[in-house]
Chain A
Amino acid sequence: MSAQLARARSLIYLLPLAFLLIFYFYPLASILGMSLAPDGQLDLGALFDMIFSPYVGRALWFTTWQALASTALTLLLGMPAAYVFARYAFPGKSLIRALTTIPFVIPTVVAATAFTTLLGPRGFINEWLMTAFGLPEPPVSLLYTVWIILLVHAFYNATVVVRIVGGFWANLDPRMSEAAAVLGANRWRVMWEITFPLLMPAIVAASLLVFLFCFTSFGVVLILGGPRYATLEVEIYRQAVNFFNLPLAAVLSLVQLGFTFIVMVVYTRIQARASIPLNMRPQSSTARRPANWRQWLVVGVVNTLLLIVVMIPLLALAVRSVTLGDGPPTLRYYQALTENPTQDIFFVAPIQAIRNSLLIAFVVVVISLALGLISAYLLAGPDRKDSRLVGWLDPLFLLPLGTSAVTLGFGYIIALDEPPLDLRTSLLLVPIAHTLIAMPFVVRSVLPALRGLNPRLREGAAVLGASPTRVLREIDLPIIGRALLVAAVFAFTVSMGEFGATLLIYRPEFPTMSVAIYRALGQPGMLNYGRALAMSTVLMLVCAVGLLFIERFRIGDIGEF
């Protein structure tokens, strides 16, 4: 390879690193430095006292165990679905898969409404149980317990398992399991000794993302868990915004980051070791129609379970948006979306909000796929030389997921304040912030597939005279295509649904759907509540359509190679 090409290649590799450096590490370091050492002098003693205080310990303890429990529950729900989606072809599959991804875009305030409509004291389930069994009191009281936190975390994150594990599983060659079965291994033995070990990289990747999402959970814990439970993220918000106690907020952010980093170093080590080069198969050759009633039963039961946990709350929300109030079902609230009775200058026309959300999501998908793919190649591609460097780089790419939105938002204010980087009020900050959250998903989705890529395929092609780009196009892309698709889905949904960071940095002249929902929820009156519900339903629909569109969009010739 010519020196020029090699230089061009390392320049490309520098892109994601430069992005993280400018838009993540620099603002973060600025705010932490300003908070902890306002005069340039860091008081280590005081810092350690704060880090090891019982207050921080208590928050860290709750944050960790609820995230672990939530991850376990999410796996319990997601794994059977991943299996069914990977191995069976059945009618409505892509629609159901798109629907299970929707929770990811639902703002917490709205999810809370959905769950209250369903499980609240006057909710659908309690009303039904009370009439059916003549009970005097509502029997289900989950609201403001830790149980509802776990349940809603599973509702939000099941799709991560379904998509990442299911996507990887779909490309696994079923012949290996079939061979084991022929040799006399029973179904469970095949599962435990063949399938699970091969799936491990994907399972660990999905679990880690779910864990991090639950570890930094803000809205779910705050709104559905009630004010009794506080994660580190919630405490950071309280300290930074309500008390303006920046040093304590910075300490909490450091603890959250440090803990995230340790988890990720351990994880990336396991991950790199667990991956084995595999012979990947196109999805079309691995998924079959259920052949007998038992397989149909499995497909049916798993889908019903998913429907109950993921789709019924969404359905409840949609129904509520037409039945709110005393009268008969009405489209009044949808009509109200287009009305601006007060001539409010910040009024958001629904079509404009949809356009803005889609536009931002598109930019995020493009940038995060490009940067994420480059990062994944940097970590596991054929050029990788120094594995120790990768051991440190890999967790760095995940770090943004462990960072509090408030901390980073404040970091932008003090770091990006001078030309050429005066971005504090720029429209670009929103897609940049979304890309920071989406990139870990992209890297995590692509890595297991990239690591599973059998190097002999590439070597063979190279020996036969294929150029590196031709290898990329004809070997790599078809095989990691499925994973890229999964990555695109995540980038899209992260952007459509992202709420916390958006509210800190959005520009009123470029409102998104979640901003419109939030504004409606800030004013009393039935019409505003109805508007928020209607806009949430529109958000779900737009997302479902977008997801189906992405699923149709084939990268390379995936499925046919």
Chain B
Amino acid sequence: MKKTILLIVALVATMLLAACGPQFAPTSDPDAGQARKKLVLMSHDSFAVSEDVITQFEQETNITVEFLLAGDAGAALNKACLSKGNPLGDVFFGVDNTFLSRAINCGIFEPYRSPALDSVPSELYLDPAFGLLPVDFGYVNLNYDRRWFDEQGLAVPGRLEDLIKPAYKGLLVVENPATSSPGLAFLLTTIAHFGEDGDYSYLDFWRDLRANGVLITDGWSEAYFGHFTVGSGGEGDRPLVVSYATSPPADVFYSESSKSEPDSGNISPADGTFRQIEFVGILKGTEQREAAEELVDFMLSRAFQEDIPLQMFVYPANGEAALPDLFTRFAEVPVEPVDIDAGAIEANRERWIEAWTETVLR
């Protein structure tokens, strides 16, 4: 018994000691002529990349990349802001335009005008100081169940205004903007489309949507897998969902029996979609500025950019990157996504979400 207790105490003590010790073994490789540098790329949970693409970078540059996934996009950015001056990583990927102003206000990014930006359309740079560089973008729009609408002989809604017609009663599921990024994007779309005041404001639209039986879920996966008829494998009860323009190609790519056509389709009315741009930046306080620049350049290069679509199901920012066949065939690029300023989003987010909550939920 004494031994057991001693063992337990020793274990706990070891844990505590280990906890206090250095976190990483020295990474320098004595065999290599020159020490390998180690970079930490901090990102959100949805970050994904092919193994061989990263290996290629590591071989070319003598830099080892470690990843730190720090929760959803909002939580990861907040952690970066909290660790200002003593950063958790060297490079941060995954600030999007709904969080852009918060990121800039935090002052956690070092300006870097990568030469690779020359291949990126200038409309995607939203940070004039180049603290944050665009890496990818996607569109939040409506997805519909093609078979369901066929069988019902119902026309697909062509505009946001259609969603409040009796024919579409009880068909739509939307994510809560307070807890979900596509939910927020859709709320912003309606604000840009209907405006805050006037005869028919975005709140009027939401009031009508509510009367027309819109269903609100907390996050994307509950909406898509839990309620959308396509995503749930027939169990759901909603043939219309707020999702991404690239969800149909993903539907084919991740189909169980390699189907050739998606069961879902895009509805991308003019002035009725939102473009989400994701940015990368070098964190202030990094001791690896040069290596960090190399990683940022690499993330904008064709090798990484062409890997993006099938990993994260968004579009590469680099205009020279080739798109996979699936994207060109099944994802619709919306003509005119709504235009809404990142500063206005940060300044009004809380107020808009509160007003929305009052109107739709209470």
Residues of A within 8 A of B (CB): 12, 15, 18-19, 22, 109, 112-113, 116-117, 120-123, 222-223, 226-228, 237-238, 240-245, 324-327, 330, 332-333, 341-346, 363, 366-367, 369-371, 406, 409-410, 413-414, 417-426, 428, 431-432, 469-470, 472-473, 477, 503-504, 506-509, 518-519, 521-530, 532
Contact = CB atoms under 8 A, between A and B. Distances in A.
25 contacts: A120-B237, A226-B218, A227-B178, A241-B72, A241-B78, A244-B102, A326-B233, A341-B253, A342-B48, A342-B50, A342-B311, A343-B51, A367-B15, A369-B8, A409-B75, A410-B78, A421-B20, A422-B23, A470-B1, A503-B45, A504-B75, A519-B45, A524-B231, A525-B250, A532-B225
Interface in B174-228: 176, 178-179, 216-222, 224-226
Contact of B243 (A19, A432, A524, A526): A524
The 10 A-B pairs of least Cβ separation, nearest first, read A525-B254, A473-B1, A420-B20, A227-B176, A370-B8, A527-B254, A241-B74, A521-B221, A524-B250, A343-B50
A241 to B, nearest CB: 4
B151 interface: no
Interface in B158-178: 176, 178
B350 A227 contact: no
Given A506-B69, A524-B231, A524-B313, A413 B54 contact: no
B21 A420 contact: yes
A435 to B, nearest CB: 9
Nearest to B9: A12
B222 A508 contact: no
Interface in B13-60: 15-16, 18-23, 40, 45-52, 54
B232 interface: yes
A426 B68 CA distance: 10
A515 B95 CA distance: 22
Nearest to A229: B361
Contacts of A245: 350
Contacts of A243: 349-350, 353
A19 B255 CA distance: 48
B48 A344 contact: yes
Contacts of B22: 419
B48 A432 contact: no
Given A426-B19, A428-B19, A527-B254, 20 more contacts: A116-B226, A241-B72, A324-B233, A324-B256, A325-B233, A326-B234, A345-B54, A346-B69, A409-B75, A413-B82, A419-B22, A423-B19, A431-B15, A470-B1, A504-B75, A509-B66, A509-B67, A524-B231, A524-B250, A526-B255
A524 B217 contact: no
A344 B51 contact: yes
B156 interface: no
B277 interface: no
Residues of B contacting A: mostly: mixed
Contact of B179 (A120, A123, A227, A342): A227
Contacts of A342: 48, 50, 310-311
A387 B357 CA distance: 49
B164 to A, nearest CB: 20
B222 A523 contact: no
A552 B8 CA distance: 21
A344 B50 contact: yes
A200 B113 CA distance: 68
A532 B362 CA distance: 33
Contacts of A116: 226, 235
B45 A518 contact: yes
A439 to B, nearest CB: 12
Nearest to B259: A526
B329 interface: no
Given A241-B74, A370-B8, A523 B51 contact: no
Given A241-B78, A428-B19, A530 B256 contact: yes
A508 B45 CA distance: 9
A136 B12 CA distance: 62
A522 B9 contact: no
B233 A529 contact: yes
B222 A223 contact: yes
B18 A428 contact: yes
Contact of A15 (B12, B78, B224): B12
Nearest to B2: A469
B49 A345 contact: yes
B78 to A, nearest CB: 6
Contact of B361 (A227, A423, A426): A227
B88 A242 contact: no
Given A244-B81, A523-B313, A529 B12 contact: no
Given A227-B179, A325-B256, A523-B250, A346 B48 contact: yes
Contacts of A506: 69
Contacts of A504: 70-71, 75
A139 B5 CA distance: 58
B11 interface: yes
Nearest to B99: A244
A522 B222 CA distance: 10
Contacts of A346: 47-48, 67, 69
Contacts of A422: 23
B247 interface: yes
Nearest to A227: B176
Given A117-B235, A524-B224, A524-B247, A242 B179 contact: yes
A425 B51 CA distance: 22
A177 B259 CA distance: 67
B1 A345 contact: no
A370 B12 contact: yes
B251 interface: yes
B257 interface: yes
Given A417-B83, A469-B2, A112 B78 contact: no
B236 A523 contact: no
B218 A222 contact: yes
B344 to A, nearest CB: 15
Nearest to B361: A228
Nearest to A327: B257
Contacts of B78: 240-241, 244, 410
Contact of A428 (B15, B256, B310): B15
Contact of A226 (B217, B231, B235): B217
B235 to A, nearest CB: 5
B313 to A, nearest CB: 7
A327 to B, nearest CB: 7
B145 to A, nearest CB: 13
Contact of A121 (B52, B70, B231, B237): B237
B79 to A, nearest CB: 5
Nearest to A336: B256
B49 to A, nearest CB: 5
Contacts of B310: 342
B114 interface: no
Contacts of B218: 222-223, 226-227
Interface in B307-362: 310-311, 313, 349-350, 353, 357, 361-362
Interface in B104-147: none
Contacts of B244: 524
B216 A226 contact: yes
A366 B68 CA distance: 27
A237 to B, nearest CB: 7
Contacts of B23: 422-423, 425-426
A557 B19 CA distance: 35
A154 B340 CA distance: 45
B309 to A, nearest CB: 10
B61 interface: no
Contacts of A473: 1
Contact of B225 (A228, A414, A529): A529
Contacts of A507: 68
A327 B82 CA distance: 50
B57 to A, nearest CB: 11
